[in-house]
Every structure is written in C-alpha cells, then in structure tokens.
Structure 1
Amino acid sequence: MSQPVTATSAEFPFKISVTDAQLELLRKKLDLVTFPDELQDAEWRYGVPLPIMKRLVARWKDGFDWRAEEKKLNDELPQFTRDIEVAVHGNLTIHYVHKKSTLETAIPLLFVHGWPGSFIEVRKILPLLLQTSEDGNFPSFHVVAFSLPGYAFSEAPKKSGFEAKQYGEIGHKLMLALGYNEYVTSGGDWGRIITQKMAQIYGGKHVKAWHTNMPSLGISPTLTSHPILYLQSLIKPLTAVEKAGLERSKWFNTEGRGYFAEQSTQPQTLGYSLSDSPVGLLAWIYEKLVNWTDAYPWTDDEVLTWVSIYYFSQAGPAASTRIYYEITHSPGGLSALGEKPPRIPMGVSYFPKELIIAPRSWVRTVGNLVFESEHSSGGHFAAYEKPNEIVDDLRNMFGRKKGKNGPAFGVVSGRNGFQPA
C-alpha cells in the first residue's frame, strides 16, 4: 500500500546540466538532416513551412547557446527533485520548481502544465505571484510547479495505467511534502484535466479552489441536469465572443487535432521519430506553438529552448505523449471527468485563441464556478503568452481589492495572501 509522503521526505536541489556528449550528439544529428520537399503554395496549410524549418535548424546547430539558456533557467527557477510513491506504480523521482513568498501567509498555489508545455510555463508568472502588496491591493502566493512524470527532468512511469488520478496523486503528495496541507491549483491543457481530478478527489479537505485557462470540457445544459442554465440558454442567445469560440473549436477539431489521434492511439510508433530526430521533434512542437497561440512573437531562441527541454528530457520526448493514450483509454475516458463536478470554488480565464471554447452556460456545468474573466487576446499557453492577465485573474479570484473580497478569498486556512491585521 502506498504510504503518505511527509514533510520529512528527502528533497534535493536540482540544476539542469545537459552533458557535452548530449550536445555533441544533437549537433551531429542536425548535421545529417534531410528536409522534405514542399509545394510552391503550401504556406502554413500543410504544416510548418520549409524555409522556417531550415532557419530554425540552422540556428539550433550554429548560434543557439543552450548553455546560456540553461544558466538562465537555473538562475531564475529554484528547482528540486524528490521521490514520490504512487500507488501500484512505486517511487518516481519528480522534478519541480518551488519558491516561497516572503510573506508567510501567502497562498500555496500548485501550477500544472500540459503538452507540449513544461515547467517553463511558470517562468513569467512566478515573480509576479511572489510579489507582496504594501497597500493590500493583491495577495501573494507560494508557488509550486512540477514537471509531469515523463516530462523534462521527472522520471517516467514504467507501467501502463498512469492516468489523471495518478498525475493528481503526484501533485497532491508533493504539496503535502512541502508542508502545504491546504492549497489551490491552476492549470491548462492536461494541467486542467489533472487539477480537475485533484479537485474531485482532494477537494474540500486539501484542494480549496481550482482555476483554469482551458474551460473546454462541459455539457450542454438540459432541463433535467441544469434547469436554470437550460432556461437561461433558451432566453439568451450566444454572444459574438461565444460564436467565435465555437468557430475556433470547429477549426481545431477539423484542422488541428491530428496529433491527438496519433498520440492517443499509437504513441509508441510516433515516439521513434520524436526520439531519434530532433528536427522532427522541432516541427511537431513548433507547429503547436504557432497555431495554438494568438500571434505570439516567438523568437527562435525561445522556440529552441522550449523544444530543447523535450529533447534533453530525462525519459526522452516520446514519454510525454503517453498521457494521451492513458487518459483517453482510462475507464470513461475524458467524459468521465464530468460525472462528479467538484464542489469547491472554480475560476475560469477565457482567451479567444484557446483550442476548444465552449459556450459559457456549458462551462458552468463543470463545477462551482465563482469567477470568470474574459480577455480580448491570448491563446493556449496563457501563463506564458499573457502572464499579467493570468496573475491578475488569480489575484482577483483569491484576493481582495479596495475592501471587497474576491469570490475565493480566504479559502486556505490562515493563508489569505495578505499581511495579518
């Protein structure tokens, strides 16, 4: 039987340190690249354009300084590893970022990433969340962001059946090990699925509220399931923003979802290409970085840093795709998440270039929705694209402003994010 992790579990400081041999092998593989041909009028309709790939590969091979980027990540993000035991799956060494606010009563926040993201997504919001407010206008947070098992520098599961529940178990036991018996969560992509599962399992006693920037899963309210929402939907037509969201969802389901079919059915087959070919990995991820964001001005070095974390990951890039198979093949699949709506407070940030954007009445069937915020720009990687907006939403949800409490103010006992009165 799995034993609970305690605050005395061993924690080890961690620094990213890719070996010279790994860097040399990458360079050799880039030297041997064979590019495909391309139709004259292809542009982005067929995938990443050939001229862009040639430019990125040339930069990766000659000019991109991984050592400089590695140092920046190590300097900016306090990183650690810790062994966490998962029921049936045994111990896994988990990599995570953890930084405490100078304010002891700050709110413990667990940030959970997805694919093709990583712990790097917390990079921009971390310093903002740690800030304290002398005039009491916003709360401060203690921040934890772990690399999902099989991602970056976390060990990958060795057995099949590692589903949303197990990822949630990792996150929960990590928070307990760090001394946070009560905490709140925020996540997008698989991070949204995992934090929703955590809200279902640990909500109330440990998880006190959850926030997401990917409000994609919900059901159309019916007269029997959600009578008030159903009647409201009959009276109130969809807004222009909601109609645009449905169009975005239609695009994703018809033009952008091919990767999902492959990763959720035959991830091992795809894994040979992602593991052996850095150019293939670059194209596979870069396509999403462009198509899933809202005209975000990616620099070449940003892209290459993002992809290099996958290429140099402990388990290799193929391990990161198995989450699709495991969760979609779990009992009930993704739809099972809606069978037990969490009762704890839920907050949602809406961004127009998210992948699937349900009408607001659908989102309100997911849980106890107490906070909603609409944004005029931004996409799937909201914490990275729009860090100020995400942080403002978290502050407004959990804080207080001008004497008015946010809808989830004070949910964590003794830690409301402000100086004690």
Structure 2
Amino acid sequence: MSPETPFQINIPDKKLSILRAKLELATFPDELQDIGWKHGPPLADMKRLVERWRNGYDWRKHEKELNQELPMFTRDIDVDGFGALNIHYVHKKSEIAWRHPAAAGPGSFLEIKGMLPLLTAASPKHPSFHVVALSLPGFGFSEGAHKPGFALDQYAEVTHKLMIALGYNEYVTEGGDWGFLITRRMAAKYGGKHVKAWHTNFPMADPPTWKSPLSYLSYLLTPFSAEEKAGLERTAWYRNKSSGYFVEQSTFPQTLAYGFTDSPVALLGWFYEKLVIWTDDYKWTDDEALTWISIYWFSRAGPGAAHRIYSEVCGDFYNLGRTSYPTVPMGASYFPQELLLLPSAWLRRQNNVVIESHHTSGGHFAAYERPAELADDVRKMFAKGGPAFAIVPGKSGYA
C-alpha cells in the first residue's frame, strides 16, 4: 500500500469551460400543465438551476470551502484480483489524545461535513472519534474498478484495508444507503477481531418466514404500531413510485452512463429528483444542490461510473449479504422519511441490536439533513453507560 498523500480538489479550468459550454447548449422538454413533481423535477426548477450552474454558480468558491473544511487524502489500496486502486478519503482525528474509537463511514464524502466537527469534538459528555469517510471506488475522487466483478466483498475489502493502513486495527463503522450493505458485510467478515461494532441509519431486514416458526407466528399475531404502519406505507411508496432508477442502474448502467457523461442537464435532473423527494422537506439551496451534482460531474471515474455498483452487487443476491448476519453489537437510527422503513423487530431478529433511536423528522440523507441527531445516536452507543462503551480499548478508529 502507498503512503497517505494530502489531497486538494482542483478541477482544471478546461473542464469548467466544457461544462459551461454544454450548459449553454441545453435543450429542454415541455411539460404538462400543473403537473408539479409528479413526473419529476418541474421545468421551471430545471431551467433556474441550469442557468445558475452556467452563469452565477461559483465552483471555485465551493471547491475552496471543501478543501478548507475537509482534511482529504488519497492512497493506493490493493484489492484482491483487481490490483491497486487510488482511494480518496476524509480523515480527521479526535481533538483529544486518549480513548478515541475510530469510525469508518462509506458514502459520499460530502455527507460527513456536518457530522465531522461533532464526532471529533472533545467533550466530557460524549466520546470523541477519529473519523474516516471514503469515496467508494467509482465515486467522488476515488479511482473506479477497471474490470467487472467488483462487488460487495470488494467494497468491504477496500474500506477495511484503508482502516488498517491508517493504523486502526480495531474500529467501528456507520453507514447509510450502500454503506449499510458494505458495513454489514464488513461486520460479518471482519467482526470481532477488527470491526468491534456497527451502526446504520438505513436499517434493512427481511421479514420473518415460516422457516422460523416462532418469529413468523409473532409477526402474524402482533399488530403494527402507528410508526410501523407509517414506515410500511413509506416503503410501499418507494417501491411503487420511486425505485425505477434501481431497476435501470442494476441492469443497464452503461446505457445511463452515455447520457450522464455527455449531458450535465441529464445528470442534474436525475440527481436533483432524489435530493428533493428523498429528504424530509430539507430546504436545498440551489448552490448546495449544484455542489452535490458537480461532484458527480467532475468525479474521477466519470459521471456514469457510480451506477455500476448496482449492477455489480445486485447481479448476485448472495452478495447482498442476506445469508450472513454479523454478531458484533449493532446500533440503528430510524428516520421517518427514509426509503425503506421496516419493523425494528425484523432487524433485531437477525442482528445483535443493542441500541435503537427513532426520530420524528429526517430522511434518506440523514447524515446531511440531521447531522446533530445522527452524531448523537452514534455517541450514545459508545458513551460511558452506553451498550458499546469502551468496546475499542485504547487507540482505535471510526469509519
């Protein structure tokens, strides 16, 4: 493995010029009268965002802010069968020099912005963490895989080897979205010796079946609570109204890649839809949304590379990890506008859940929407008196 190299975002002027030129040539479709968000982002919103992106949005300003706020690095990580991949990550150590669990969080590195100062802050009231937040291969400024077969085991391997390379032989994890599946696989593969506990804000679980008679009988006889009913309604909405992207990305991601790589407007429409309808009434500013989408546009592997994870991982259901459940302690945070909200008893049936937090607001991007609430959930799990206190003795890490 290569040594750690400090990293600063510095998009070439030529790429900024190409983006602006493409935005100037944007052609828009029409839309039905009074359709609102029913068919996707409204035309007026898209025209406003494209004009802002073309003439007004200052990428250099936001680039500078990211470089100042986030201590970023890269290093090569050897992946079995795939060679060395250059991985981009945020790494900030605790403000105190004693007992600090290390935490690893796979996901967009932008999602760590609000939580980073909270998790690393020194306080007598809560634990302080060393934090590592990587860009998964193919995302952000990490190099993508160059051949097929890079699936869940490989994403878990990259994250684990990064933690080991940083000196965190024992650590805990937190993840949402793909981070849930990746950290679950990490806890199953490396749990006990390396991964001491894991936490998620995207708790997924399979319903009981007749193969576990007592659990299945309890499922049939126990009425759902009001929160559980609302969660199942949200889950049904997602599956029926908002999951079409998953089918396309998990079958023919290359088809999408042509549009996303050539057209910033196509990329904007695809992602802006998710930012708005997957959050809990979060008030995105135009510049905030454009920064998220610019990261995809300027990503190292290209705007279409991130979608390959859907096809590569979902091509083999075993790789989803449904047959391998970790035994190390688990924590879960439930936010009411998450995409999949299943009864917590289902999660407890399959995992060693030691703490749960149920919130009254927040959605799919909880780390970004509600950083204080999610950070507090993680701290409670590992605080003195918490169910995982001192689970990582002495110097340790959080990913």
CA RMSD of aligned residues (A): 1.4
SS in 2 for 1:317: coil
In structure 1, what is the Cα distance between the partners aligned to 2:163 and 2:354? 24
1:143 aligns with 2:142: no
Measure, in 2, the Cα distance between the counterparts of 1:316 and 1:366: 37
State how many pairs are aligned.
396
Matched, 1:268 2:254: yes
The more displaced of 237-246 and 356-365 is 356-365
* Superposition map of 1:2-151 within 5 A: 5=1, 9-104=2-97, 105-113=99-107, 118-133=108-123, 136-151=124-139
So what's the TM-score if we normalise by structure 2?
0.97
Cα drift, residue 94 of structure 1? 0.3
Counterpart of 2:393? Answer: 413
TM-score between the two structures when normalised by the length of structure 1: 0.92
**Contact 2:151 2:319 (8 Å CA) reproduced:** no
5 Å-filtered alignment, 1:17-416, equals 17-104=10-97, 105-113=99-107, 118-133=108-123, 136-216=124-204, 218-222=205-209, 224-225=211-212, 227=214, 229-230=215-216, 232-234=218-220, 236-330=222-316, 332-334=318-320, 337-400=321-384, 405-415=385-395
Q: Please list the CA deviations of residues 72-114 of structure 1 after superposition, one character each: whole Å capped at 9, or x if unmatched.
A: 000000000000000000000000000001223211000111x
Structure 1 runs not aligned, ≥5 long: none
Whether the 8 Å CA contact 1:399–1:416 is kept in 2: the answer is no
Deviation string for 1:249-280 (max 9, x for gaps)?
A: 00100110110000000000110001100010
Aligned-residue offset at 1:243: 0.3
Q: Distance in 1 between matches of 2:235 and 2:144?
A: 31
- Between the aligned partners of 2:186 and 2:162, the Cα distance in structure 1 is 13
C-alpha separation in 1, matches of 2:42 and 2:10? 32
Q: Given that residues 170 and 396 in structure 2 are in contact (C-alpha distance below 8 angstroms), is that contact kept between their aligned partners in structure 1?
A: no
1:112 counterpart SS class:
coil
Name the CA distance, whole Å, in 2 between partners of 1:333 and 1:141: 30
The percentage of aligned residue pairs carrying the same residue is 58
One-letter identity of the residue aligned with 2:195: V
Displacement, 1:317?
1.1
1:186–1:210 Cα contact (<8 Å) kept: yes
* In 2, Cα distance between equivalents of 1:182 and 1:126: 20
Distance apart, 1:193 and its partner CA: 0.7
* Residues 354, 378 of structure 1: 8 Å contact kept: yes
Q: Distance in 2 between matches of 1:395 and 1:261?
A: 36
Instruction: State the 1:416 CA deviation.
Output: 8.2
Q: Segments of 4+ in structure 1 off by > 6 A?
A: none
Amino acid at match of 2:81: V
1:236 Cα offset (Å): 3.5
CA distance in structure 2 between the partners assigned to 1:416 and 1:91 by the alignment: 25
How far did 1:297 drift?
0.5
Taking the aligned partners of 2:31 and 2:122, their CA distance within structure 1 comes to: 52
Matched residue of 2:179: which SS? helix
Shift of 1:333: 4.8
Question: Are the counterparts in 1 of residues 102 and 396 from structure 2 also a CA contact under 8 Å?
Answer: no
Contact persistence 1:221–1:361 (CA under 8 A): no
**Superposed displacement of residue 223, structure 1:** 6.2
Worse-matched range after superposition: 174-183 or 355-364 = 355-364
What amino acid is aligned across from residue 384 of structure 1 in structure 2?
Y
Q: Deviations along 1:319-363, whole A, 9 cap, x unmatched?
A: 0000000000025353xx121210000100000000011112112
